[in-house]
C-alpha cells in the first residue's frame, strides 16, 4: 500500500467540501432575493431564466440575512483553507504534479480518445492523468476569480476600480454566478469520475493509502467499466467460462 496523500491534503480537501457546499447553497439563496441580473426595468443579454428562482432545496441559509452570514463565514474558511493547501503543495513540491506542462494538451486528447473508445489502452500517467491535472489546476484559479468577483459585488463603491474592470456591478455579479457554475461542474465531474472510474481513490483521501495495482491505468478503467481489480475480473471470466 503506497502513501498517496499527506494528511494536510486530506484535511484541506474535506474542509473544502464543507465550505464549498455552504458557499454554493447560501449564494443561491442570496441570488433568489433578486433572481435576475438586469436592474429593475432593464434587460440583460445572457441569462434566459430571469426572475425564475432557484429551487429552495438547492439553497442554504433560510433567509437573505442568514444566507449572507453563512456565505461570508464559508468564504473565509475557503480562503484560509486554500492558502494552507497552496502553501503546503508549494513547500512540499506537489505543485509539480499539477502545473501545466508541455505535452499536456496532447495527453488530454489521448485521455478523451480513451474515454470515447477510440483508444483501447489507458494512457500512461503519473499521480494524475492529464484531464485530472487540468481540472485540479483550474479549481484554485476559478476559486480565486470567485473571490475577486465576490469582492467586487460585496463592496462595489470601495472596490469601484475592480467592479468597473469587470464591466460594472451587473456584469461582476454575472461573472460571479458563471464562475460558481464552473466550480460546480468541476466538482460534480470530479465526484462522478471518482465513483465511476477510480472508487479506490476514496480510501486514499481518508487514510492516505493507495494500492497502485487498483489504479485506473492498471485496470484500464473507463466510466462504469473495469471497476474491479484485474485479478478479480479474470477470476470472474474463468468462472463464467467454466
User: Which residue, among 177, 151, 170, 182, has the nearest Cα to 31 in the 3D structure?
Assistant: 177
pLDDT, tens only, 23-75? 999 999 999 999 999 988 888 999 999 999 999 999 999 899 999 999 999 99
pLDDT computed for residue 233 by the predictor = 46
pLDDT computed for residue 229 by the predictor = 85
pLDDT, tens only, 130-174? 898 889 889 989 999 999 999 999 999 999 999 999 999 999 999
How sure is the predictor about 108, in pLDDT bands with cuts at 50, 70 and 90?
very high
DSSP 100: -
> Is the distance from CB of 218 to CB of 201 less than 8 angstroms?
no
pLDDT computed for residue 41 by the predictor = 82
Does pLDDT of 118 surpass 70? yes
Where exactly are the structural domains of the chain? 2-241
> Is the distance from CB of 95 to CB of 127 less than 8 angstroms?
no
57's grid cell: 432545496
pLDDT computed for residue 124 by the predictor = 86
Dihedral sign, CA of 56, 62, 63, 69?
A: negative
Interval 9-27 mean pLDDT: 96
Does pLDDT of 236 surpass 70? no
Cell 438586469 identifies what position?
38
d(CA 181, CA 171): 15
60's grid cell: 442554504
Phi and psi torsions of 122, nearest 5°? -65, 130
> Is the distance from CB of 137 to CB of 129 less than 8 angstroms?
no
User: Which residue, among 126, 225, 145, has the nearest Cα to 186 in the 3D structure?
Assistant: 145
pLDDT computed for residue 40 by the predictor = 85
d(CA 111, CA 114): 5
Neighbours of 46 (CB within 10 A): 8
Calculate what percentage of the chain has a pLDDT beyond 90: 74
190's grid cell: 470530479
How sure is the predictor about 9, in pLDDT bands with cuts at 50, 70 and 90?
very high
209-210 vs 2-3, strand pairing mode: antiparallel
pLDDT, tens only, 165-205? 999 999 999 999 999 999 999 999 999 999 999 999 999 99
Does pLDDT of 242 surpass 70? no
Does pLDDT of 215 surpass 80? yes
**pTM (two decimals):** 0.88
Question: What CATH number labels 2-241?
Answer: 1.20.950.20
pLDDT computed for residue 188 by the predictor = 95
Interval 215-239 mean pLDDT: 76
Amino acid at each position: 500500500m503506497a502513501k498517496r496523500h499527506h494528511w494536510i491534503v486530506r484535511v484541506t480537501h474535506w474542509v473544502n467540501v464543507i465550505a464549498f457546499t455552504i458557499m454554493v447553497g447560501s449564494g443561491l439563496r442570496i441570488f433568489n432575493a433578486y433572481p435576475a441580473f438586469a436592474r429593475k426595468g432593464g434587460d440583460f443579454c445572457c441569462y434566459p431564466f430571469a426572475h425564475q428562482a432557484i429551487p429552495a432545496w438547492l439553497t442554504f441559509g433560510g433567509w437573505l440575512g442568514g444566507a449572507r452570514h453563512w456565505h461570508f463565514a464559508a468564504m473565509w474558511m475557503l480562503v484560509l483553507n486554500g492558502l494552507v493547501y497552496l502553501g503546503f503543495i508549494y513547500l512540499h513540491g506537489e505543485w509539480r504534479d499539477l502545473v501545466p506542462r508541455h505535452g499536456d494538451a496532447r495527453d488530454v486528447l489521448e485521455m478523451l480518445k480513451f474515454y470515447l473508445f477510440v483508444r483501447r489502452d489507458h494512457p500512461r500517467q503519473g499521480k494524475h492523468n492529464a484531464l485530472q491535472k487540468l481540472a485540479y489546476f483550474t479549481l484554485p484559479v476559478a476559486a480565486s476569480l470567485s473571490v475577486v468577483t465576490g469582492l467586487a459585488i460585496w463592496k462595489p463603491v470601495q472596490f469601484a476600480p475592480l467592479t468597473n474592470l469587470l464591466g460594472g456591478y451587473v456584469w461582476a455579479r454575472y461573472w460571479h454566478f458563471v464562475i460558481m457554475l464552473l466550480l460546480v461542474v468541476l466538482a460534480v465531474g470530479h465526484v462522478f469520475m471518482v465513483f465511476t472510474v477510480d472508487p479506490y481513490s476514496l480510501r486514499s483521501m481518508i487514510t492516505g493509502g493507495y494500492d497502485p495495482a487498483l489504479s485506473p491505468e492498471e485496470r484500464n478503467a473507463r466510466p462504469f467499466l473495469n471497476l474491479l481489480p484485474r485479478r478479480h475480473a479474470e477470476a470472474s471470466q474463468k468462472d463464467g467460462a467454466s
